Structures are given as C-alpha cells and as structure tokens.
Amino acid sequence: MLYPLSYEGAPTHSTGFTCHAGFMTVWIDQPLWPAHGTMFAHMVSDSRLSELHDVAERTGLSPRAFDQDHYDVPEHLVAEAVAQGAIHVTPHELVRRLIASPLRIPAKERPAKIRARLLRNWEEWAPDHPELGRRVLDRWESPDRGYHSSVHLGEVLEHVSTLERQSSLDAASRRILRATAWYHDAVYNGKPGHDESQSAQLCASDLAGVLPPDEVRRASELIMATSDHTQDRPDPLWPYFHDADLGILAAASPRYDRYAAAVRTEYSHVPGPEFRAARATILEGFLAQPFIYLTAPARESWEERARENISAEVRRLRGA
C-alpha cells in the first residue's frame, strides 16, 4: 500500500464519471505515488473483485501487485489499464468509492489490528508462555504470506469457538484445538505435505513441557491431517478442526473473493492458465463430496453457502 486508503477526508460528491459499456466498475487514479524508482497509481473496484482481477490480468499486472483491496499500478501500465476498461478518477474519489463499497478490507482482516486479540487468545491456553506466542504469531505475520496469514489464524480460531459452543468438548480438547490452530500453518512455503510436516514438528518441539504429551501428540497429528481434507481421520477432534479450517469457504461473497485473490497471490509464480486449471480441479473435488463439512452445526450453517461460493469460483476459473 503506497498511500492511506483509509483516508477519511474524501469528498462525498461524485466526480461525474459514468461506467463504460457492460457496467464496468473498476477505477484508477493518477500515478502520483513514488516507489521502486517509478510512480504508482491505484486501481480498485467498488462492486466485484473478480472484475478487478480480470482487468489487472489483461493489463499485465502481476498478482503480487494486489494489496488486499487494490492494485498498485506502475506508471507505464496506467494507459493499458484504462484501455482494458478502468475509469480515471481522482485519488479522493477512488478512496471514497472504496470506503463505500463492500470490498473495503475490515479491521479484522488487517494483521496489525488483530495482533493483540490473537495474543490474548494464546494466553488463554498457554498463559505462562507469552514470548512463545509472540514468536509463533511473527511467523503468521511474515510479509510474504497471502491467504495463510494471521488473518487466517484469527478466522480459524473464531470458527473453532463457534463449533465448540455447539458441543460439549472438555478443557483438554479445547486446548488441543487451539494448539492445532496456532501451529497448523506456522510453517508455510507453498509446499503441500512438507509444510504440514514442518508445522507439526514445530508444534511438537515448541509445546513440549507447555501442554501434556498426549495433547501435543494429538495436535501434531491433526496438523498432519490437514494435508488432505478429503480423508477421514480417527481422532474425534478431526471433524471440528477440518470444518474450522474450511470455514472460509462459507464466507460472505466479498470475503470469499478476497480469500480467492490471496490464494492466487501465494501462487503468483504459477502461470494463469495453469493455476486456474489446478485450482478449479481442487475445488471441484470439494463439490464432488456428499458433504464439505463433517460436523452437524457446520453442515447446517455453512454447507449451502460454501457450495455457492465454490461453484461461482469454478465457473470463473473455467470461463463458463
């Protein structure tokens, strides 16, 4: 982010710009923001992230140019973005439109805003080891992460709590689920299988002496299980963590779109056609299952919405 998109002094009147044919709602300001030896503009949508990503891809922008709710556009690509449908507005008008839109990133999706809350969660189950909690959270806040950031950690913990409230889990089970949440992507390099193995090993070494050995073992095994969400697991806590980890699939549409965009950012090194084909195949695997979720509360509250989100993304990926 090159300038404060949370700016609150934007004018409340419209600039008079109208949408292009097809109701284009992608906006770009002037390249006034210096960085990396050039000037940058910002490009946003006030209605659909999928539309924003389409314009960005046609413009030739890297997925890594996406910063949560906007693209940073180098000066030499501004004219091409306009040619692809983006509409010029002033910086103040761009900010005004984004703030008024459902695509604006809320505070709970900004790592700096949720750090204190996450550390309080750690201290609820490991109160004598606050420094360890800070070190683990630092891993989640690594700037090279896309979706698998502390925002994901916070959402998984929220989903765990939601499912716990509808169950009769004992204190040990609740500690195991929290430990699993904190460590399940503590190591993340985009290498399926290897990341889970490294995260499980870190959990086992960090929590030795913090939790009883059996709880550490079960948390580590649950972390390993996340390498394949389609498989049954013997631990009775697996359905709870499985569903909490996949709770994002049932998010409201704007949040789901941001999730999908963040996943694309993590795989920005993969060419677009290859990524779309692989991603669509993975999502179609979820749709092919009788149920995405394993617990009754998740099926009741999340199943329908998750299938709607996944189906919509598959249609976009397949170009349907």
Domain boundaries, the chain: 26-104, 108-245, 250-318
User: Is the CATH code 1.10.3210 the one for domain 108-245?
Assistant: yes
Tally the C-alpha atoms within 13 A of residue 296's C-alpha that lie toward its C-beta.
3
Q: Are 273 and 318 in contact (CB under 8 A)?
A: no
Joined together, the tokens standing for residue 120 give 């309080």
The torsion of the CA quartet 46, 47, 48, 52, rounded to 10 degrees, works out to: -30
pTM of the model as a whole: 0.72
Where does 178-302 show beta strands of DSSP type E? none
**Which residue has 């990926």 as its token pair?**
317
Question: With 0-12 CB in 10 A as exposed, 13-18 as middle and 19+ as buried, what is 256?
Answer: buried
Number of H helices, E strands in the chain: 13, 5
- Kindly give the confidence (pLDDT) of every residue in the chain, 320 residues in length, as a single tens digit, with 9 standing for 90 and above: 222 232 222 323 333 333 333 456 899 999 999 999 999 999 999 888 888 999 999 999 998 899 878 999 999 999 999 999 999 999 999 988 888 887 787 777 888 889 999 999 999 999 999 999 999 999 999 988 889 999 999 999 999 999 999 998 999 999 999 999 999 999 999 888 999 999 999 999 999 999 999 999 999 999 999 998 877 899 999 999 999 999 999 999 989 988 998 899 888 899 999 999 999 999 999 999 999 999 999 999 999 999 999 999 999 999 96
Question: Where are the strands (E) in 140-240, listed by range?
Answer: none
Dump strand ranges (E) for 68-201: 71-74, 87-88
- Taking the mean position of all CA atoms in its chain, how far away is CA 97? 23
Q: Using an 8 Å Cβ cutoff, are 247 and 155 in contact?
A: yes
Residue tagged 């090159």 (tokens):
2
pLDDT score, position 24:
60
For residue 133, give every residue at least 6 positions away whose Cβ sits within 8 Å of its Cβ, in sequence order, or none: 119, 122, 123, 126, 182
